Amino acid sequence: MKFKMKSFNAHGNEHKTRKPSKHDANLRKNNLLHFQLGLLISLIVTFFVFQLALREQPIEKPEVAQIDFIEEPYVVTDFKKYVEPKKEQSKEKITPRVKKSYQFTIGKDDEVETKKQLFSQDELDEPGNLDLDNIIYVKKTDDPVLFDKVEFVPVFPGCESLSSNEERKECMSDKISKIVRKNFRTDRAIDFGLTGTQRIYVQFTINKQGLVSDVKIKAPHKVLEEEALRVTKLIPQMKPGKQQDREVEVVFMKPIVFKVQ
């Protein structure tokens, strides 16, 4: 004889066991799917918020101040002079000239003809007609003349219409300043870790053909010397300066000052 086990609840009532249905299984699957979708959406939203935050953050870059020019009342003497390398020329063998020998004889004293003295002492003491007040002394102008001291400054291209010497000085200085501002690469100072105020002294000579020559540079770093030399070579040919109606070489100097923060 078989007995069936029955379960009762706390109130003494018979408890009937409920069989799981398909609806319960689908409900559990839906809950898991909803959880996965919610997690995926949260990750996507977090990703886009993170990207937006990165875009809004400004990228800090080193600030480089605009190049500024100043006038210096003195001339720097300890420049480093840059000389263009010259090509070696083949030396031709020079054959020394052989001097010819001459045979001569010395005559006796009585054979030498006595000549009359050209001028007597009395004639030399007589005052002449030379007027010393009318003598014009011309100062030698072969040496280079400073830009501020030359009688007629070199004429830079674009400054020909100006008549006075002072106007041409200012025009030439402004033109050279524009060339440097446009072409000088201040970022090279940043590449080599230079900070603060950088002073570069550039001095060159404008020769009698109006070309830049004899470039001398003083800078706190070699890379700045190279950059200053490169920019100086961009200065075009100009009409040479004059002193007493003669073309002369003119020395020009302009400091380059900029600040890296």
- pLDDT category, 62, cuts 50, 70, 90? low
**Pairing state of beta strands 250-260 and 145-146?**
parallel
Instruction: Provide CB contacts within 8 A for 221, sequence distance 6+.
Output: 189, 192, 194, 198
* Mean pLDDT of the region 63-89: 53
Supply the mean pLDDT for the chain. Answer: 74
Sorted by where each begins, the domain ranges of the chain are 68-81+138-260
Pairing of strands 14-15, 7-8: antiparallel
Strand partners, 250: 145, 206
pLDDT at 39: 82
Q: Is the pLDDT of residue 11 over 90?
A: no
Question: H or E segment at 259?
Answer: strand 250-260
| Average pLDDT for 239-248 | 93
Structure tokens of 17? 């066991």
pLDDT at residue number 195: 86
- Strands (DSSP E) along 62-144, which ranges? 68-69, 80-81
Q: Would you say 151 and 244 are in contact if contact means Cβ atoms under 8 Å apart?
A: yes
Nearby residues of 188 by Cβ (< 8 Å), 6 or more positions away: 223, 224, 227
Overall average pLDDT of the 6-35 stretch: 60
